[in-house]
Chains A and B, each alone.
Chain A
Amino acid sequence: MDFSWVAKYWPLLLSGAWQTVALLVISVSIGFLLAIGLAFAQVSGGRVTKILARSYCTFFRGTPLLIQLWLLYYGVGSLLPMIPGLRQSFMWPVLREGFFFAAVSFTLNYAAYEAEVLRGALLAVPKGELEAGRAFGMGRFTLIRRIWLPRAIRIALPTIAGEVVMQLKATPLAFTVTVMDLYAVAYKVRQDTLLVYEPLIVVTVFYLILTAIIARCFGLVEQQVPVRR
């Protein structure tokens, strides 16, 4: 075991960790907002929105994330330059990057899994609480904002923590589309120094630390809103 390379690659490891965290935060926060829409579309939408939301979830949960990522990066990425004017637009430097495609595909994928969790949680909110809200004369959106959604999120919180950790464990796939995340740094170290296990062990420790931080954060949030049983 030789860990002397760590001194030289330290800045690269930190920037890799930063890329991993950025991918995670972007996909989880935007994906969560999408999931709220998708979950409500399935629970209280009309027939067409219900079918659309269901098929979205089935597609993204039924195919591997790697295929979704490559479909976007290679597939959509090769079609994008055909849109006239896009290459000259200010957006192009962003749209050209693997990071953009990784963030989009992780977001869409996370939204599908999270929507399924939220759907169950929305259905688990006691009917009486919703009826009480309605009896107070709350409108549809007030009811959702004040009672239905907060209660559902509280019910789903432990599952959401698990989903976020799963999402963290999915981020190394970004290295296949040239993102310099933690795993990509390990790959580069292996190519430079011909060490196979040491870089993998070091980035694994990083992932474990990130997992512990996520668990701790959710634990703190759960303590803020205790459930009475």
Chain B
Amino acid sequence: MASLETTLQLLSPYPPGWGGTLLKGAASTLAISAGAYLIGLAIGMAGALGKLSGNRPLGLLLNLYTTAIRAVPELILIVGLYYAGTDGLNRLLLLAGMPPLEVNGFVAAVAVLGFVQGAYMTEVLRGAILAIPSGQIEAARAFGMSPALRFRRVVLPALLPNALPGLGNLWLAVTKDSALVAVVGYQELALATRLAGASTKQYFLFFLAAALLYLAITLVSNLVFSLLERRVRRGQPALA
């Protein structure tokens, strides 16, 4: 192992050190995760409402989506969708008579991870909506609220306490799944670390540093989610 002084030099954020590369990698990990999470939330909310709408063909389609995505290993999904997505887009562009597009690695990563997150999100949100006492929604309907108003005033505030633990788990899952994007060659924290290790031969040091960065992300997120949960649960009786 390297001495303390060389260790600090290697981890320094300025060019001879690799700290900057790692931090930049961590920032892009966070950006990918946040983007994918937001896309997943949107897909998940639409999917949950679609599944609960009672429309048979739509329900079957959404069931196929959530079952297939949750049954296939993430790595295969990410690699498969990465190629299928860019390939499919270019074929569409070709059909439309436009030149092929070089898809930005960041956009592809966010889209693919978001699509995968959407399946898990659908199930979490569907469960959370089902757990709302139906009397509350009926009362809102009896007051003559439009569906949009009903969703904003009654459904959303009532589903958040039920959904937040699941949503927190999914956020932690996406920050860790984003490391899989390294396999298709987009430089986030995991790949940046392998690069730093390869050029300095200090693999152990850098992977340990990366692990601590991921751990820090996890611990801070845990704190944020527990604060959020306290906020949305205000006024509710304490759980046993």
A204 within 8 A of B: yes
**Across the interface, do A200 and B179 meet the contact criterion of CB distance under 8 Å?**
no
Q: Is the CB of B76 within 8 A of A207?
A: yes
Q: How many residues of A contact B (CB 8 A)?
A: 35
CB atoms of A207 and B207 under 8 A apart: no
Query: Per a CB cutoff under 8 Å, which of A70, A186, A197 touches B207?
Result: A70
- Taken together as a complex, chains A and B put the C-alpha atoms of A74 and B214 apart, in Å, by 18
With beta carbons under 8 angstroms apart, the residue of B73, B83, B84, B208 that contacts A71 is B208
List residues of chain A with CB within 8 A of the CB of B175: 64
Contact with B76, one of A68, A71, A76, A183 (Cβ below 8 angstroms): A183
- What A residues does B84 contact at CB under 8 A? 196-197
B183 at the A/B interface (Cβ < 8 Å)? Answer: yes
Q: Is A170 an interface residue (CB 8 A)?
A: yes
**Residues on A with beta carbons closer than 8 Å to the beta carbon of B111:** none
Stretch from A55-63, A125-133, A143-151 at the B interface: A55-63
When the two chains form their complex, are residues B176 and A64 in contact, meaning their CB atoms are under 8 A apart?
Answer: yes
Q: Nearest-CB distance from A104 to chain B (Å)?
A: 14
Given contacts A66-B190, A67-B193, A74-B194, contact A176 B183 (CB under 8 A): yes
CB closest chain-B residue, reference A169: B73
Q: Is the interface of B mostly helix, strand, loop or mixed?
A: helix
Main secondary structure on chain A at its contact with chain B? helix
**In angstroms, how far is the closest chain A Cβ from the Cβ of B76?**
6
Chain B residue with the shortest CB-CB distance to A70: B207
Across the interface, name the chain B residue whose C-beta is closest to A171.
B73
Q: Mark B55-89, 1 if CB is under 8 A from A, else 0.
A: 00000000000000001111110011001100100
CB contacts (< 8 Å) of B74 on chain A: these are 169
Decide: B190 and A70 in contact? CB cutoff 8 A. yes
Q: Contact: B214 with A75, CB < 8 Å?
A: no
Q: Mark B119-133, 1 if CB is under 8 A from A, else 0.
A: 000000000000000
**Chain A residues whose CB sits within 8 angstroms of the CB of B194 once the complex forms:** 70, 74
Contact check, A173 vs B215: say whether CB atoms are below 8 A apart: no
| Chain A, residue nearest B189 (CB) | A67
List the interface of chain B (C-beta within 8 A of A): 1, 71-76, 79-80, 83-84, 87, 172, 175-177, 179-180, 182-183, 190, 193-194, 197, 201, 203-208, 210-211, 214-215, 218-219
**17 residue pairs bridging A and B, Cβ less than 8 Å apart:** A62-B214, A63-B176, A64-B179, A64-B180, A66-B180, A66-B190, A67-B207, A78-B204, A79-B1, A168-B73, A170-B73, A172-B75, A176-B183, A203-B76, A204-B76, A207-B72, A208-B72
Besides the known contacts A186-B76, A200-B76, A204-B72, 20 further A-B residue pairs in the complex with CB atoms under 8 A apart: A58-B218, A58-B219, A59-B215, A62-B215, A64-B175, A64-B176, A64-B214, A66-B180, A66-B190, A67-B210, A67-B211, A67-B214, A71-B207, A74-B204, A75-B206, A78-B201, A171-B73, A172-B75, A204-B76, A211-B71
